[in-house]
Amino acid sequence: MLQVSMKRLAHPHLLHRVASVLLSARFPPPRTAIITSSLRSVTSEASRPPLVPKTFPSSGFGLIDSAVKFEEERLPDYRKDAFYPVTIGQVFVGRYQVVGKMGYGTTSTVWMARDLQAHGFVVLKVHVHPMPPVRELEISRYLDSVEAGDHPGREIVRTVRDTFELQGTHGPHEVFVLPPLGVSLRHLQGLPETGVHDRSVVIMALQRLTTALNFLHGPANVTHTDIHADNILFGVEDESVLKVFEETEMTSPSPRKVADGVIIHQSLFIVESLAPVHLCDLGHARIGDEHQGIAMLLRYRAPEVILGMSWGHAVDMWSVGMLAWTLLEPEELIQLRRQEDEARNDALHLAQLTALLGPPPPEFLERSPNTKQYWDADGTWKNSVPVPKERTFEALPSSLEDADRKVFLDLIRRLLCWLPEDRLSSNDTLHHPWVSEPSVNESTES
């Protein structure tokens, strides 16, 4: 089995903002390609000459055994030809030089790049071909047009800055240019032995998230639908962190795998940054008040979505409640089986919600004929999957002291309600006693 080592970097100017820069694993490289661009003009950059691209090492890196599945190859539906072969050192559209890999997923690989014109750093999200239908670019452009004055939530939502296209062997690959950010809440959560975040970090994250949702649900009238710890990333306010990222690839090149003419680089993560978090990935967002159909991460899915009811902004608030619990408590609220068995998973999901929340009110049951598969008209559970009656909020293990847990459970109960209209709004959540505590940033700066 391949064991990937974790490297730690120190930097003298980052002590109050970044606890460490952690290098860890995860993406692909190049073929000959035609590149087309649709970049917006940036007049403020004309006064400075562009940077000269750097020459990155062509040796001195570890080689992964070609028989070992590495990075995106470990994805269940991985196809080599779907991914564009990005390599470190490549320059795209005469402007962006790739300096390192940051991650990968089923729809894209993610790379840190130096903007040679603007003398800064950006993130390149290089999509697979064919690209699945996502709304990130459409929603980003829409949000840029929203009149919201100086709403503080706008800058918390990461949007696409620019886009260009790479022509691969099997077709075009769309590339999004995004502001650089650090590690996600999920990756940071894996570092402590407890597997949970410090209370102050969770409060800071909820303050930022609910402020972002106040902008999305209010002036923008947008539902995000995909709120979870992978899509909330720490900011990087000190550019020297990004320079360390680049310098590390120059002085200690990351391991890579070379097989069948394709190079797959190991990913590097910038972690433990205390810069405020941002809400990312608008690919599944929806504009408008009311929608139909499946949405949301399976284990975070709101009951109205599971049961085929119409849904709106309140599904995001359900996700906020689920996220808050996941970040702070050692055991997941909802435990599901294999995703292939959707019908049984829905029954398991709703049975656990019935144990946690009590039976749904008649008003909720009347909103979809699908509720008859699970409850009688009076809310009595009738499905063959049993309700785990012992699974209550109070019975689940907690990382909080009793008094603090009581206030936290009040927040969770007011977010996880059967009726969407009964859930706290983003503004109400922001002012809930548990969330309105001083954030981690305020504590460190005082």
Distance of CA 412 to CAs 37, 104, 112, 417, 434, Å?
Answer: 46, 32, 37, 9, 10
Tell me how far apart the alpha carbons of residues 420 and 315 are, in angstroms, rounded to a whole number.
7
The residue count for the chain: 446
Name the catalytic one among 226, 281, 316, 346: 226
What pLDDT sits at residue 443?
Answer: 45
**Once rounded to an integer, what is the mean pLDDT over residues 212-241?**
95
Does residue 23 carry a pLDDT above 80? no
Q: pLDDT (tens digit, 9 = 90+) per residue, 71-105?
A: 999 999 999 999 999 999 999 999 999 999 999 99
pLDDT digits (tens, 9 = 90+) for 378-414: 999 999 999 999 999 999 999 899 999 999 999 999 9
Q: Give me the residue label for tokens 């990351």.
A: 254
Show me where the domains of the chain are located.
Answer: 7-150+158-191+233-278, 289-440
| Residue 26 confidence (pLDDT) above 60 | no
More confident residue, 189 or 253: 253
Residue 274 pLDDT level (bands cut at 50, 70, 90): low
Among residues 72, 75, 58, the alpha carbon closest in space to that of 126 is found at 72
For residue 429, which phi and psi values (nearest 5 degrees)? -65, -40
Quote the distance between the C-alpha of residue 446 and its chain's center. 29
- Residue-wise burial string across 247-280, b where 16 or more C-beta atoms lie within 10 A, e elsewhere: ebbeeebbbbbeeeebbbbbbbbbbbbbbbbbbb
- 226 part of the active site: yes
Copy the structure tokens of residue 367: 């909103």
Residue 134's pLDDT is 82
**Confidence at 47, pLDDT banded by 50, 70, 90:** confident
pLDDT per residue as tens digits for the range 106-164: 999 999 999 999 999 999 999 999 988 789 999 999 999 999 999 999 999 999 999 99
Residue range 273-288: mean pLDDT, rounded:
91
Architecture of domain 289-440: Orthogonal Bundle (1.10)
Q: 7-150+158-191+233-278: which CATH topology?
A: Phosphorylase Kinase; domain 1 (3.30.200)
pLDDT of 340: 64
Local confidence band at 338 (pLDDT 50, 70, 90 cut-offs): low
